């Protein structure tokens, strides 16, 4: 490839090769977890009077599990012909909180970045969501 060749990174490459853009540095492993916690906190505080968030460091000391009592992530279904799980976990800047200025809700996470970057930079990223009494799992 010559020095004059223009290259565009796909989403996965953007997340992996430019991790410091999203998390501040390559060593900031906890930032992704904070983004997930922010999503859980926003979900509960914007939709319920109370709720629970449980964070577990698994026995392997490498796996972190997060459980919350929010409404569940809208994994199934499509939005404008694109599967929701693709938008939420594979596409940067896709999310449901862009209208918060109009509806009075607050958002602490970086809209549509945390789950996508964490997915693309994790060895294993698994999501189980119960929404409207239906359980969906994405690995």
Each residue's pLDDT expressed in tens, for the chain with a length of 139 residues: 678 899 999 999 999 988 888 888 888 878 888 889 988 998 898 888 899 999 999 999 989 999 999 999 999 999 999 999 999 999 998 877 666 565 666 666 666 788 899 999 998 999 999 999 999 999 8
Terminal alpha carbon distance of the chain: 35
Across 4-93, the runs of DSSP E, i.e. the strands, are 53-57, 64-68, 78-79, 82-83
What is the model's pTM? 0.80
């Amino acid at each position: 490839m010559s020095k004059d060749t223009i290259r565009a990174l796909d989403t996965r490459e953007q997340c992996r090769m430019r991790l410091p853009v999203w998390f501040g540095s390559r060593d900031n492993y906890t930032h992704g977890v904070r983004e997930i916690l922010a999503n859980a906190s926003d979900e509960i505080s914007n939709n319920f009077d109370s709720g629970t968030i449980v964070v577990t460091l698994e026995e392997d000391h490498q796996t972190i599990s997060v459980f919350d009592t929010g409404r569940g992530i809208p994994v199934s279904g499509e939005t404008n012909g694109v599967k929701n799980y693709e938008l939420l976990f594979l596409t940067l800047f896709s999310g449901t909180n862009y209208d918060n200025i109009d509806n009075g809700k607050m958002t602490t996470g970086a809209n549509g970045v945390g789950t996508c970057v964490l997915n693309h930079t994790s060895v294993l990223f698994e999501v189980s969501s119960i929404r409207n009494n239906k359980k969906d799992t994405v690995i």
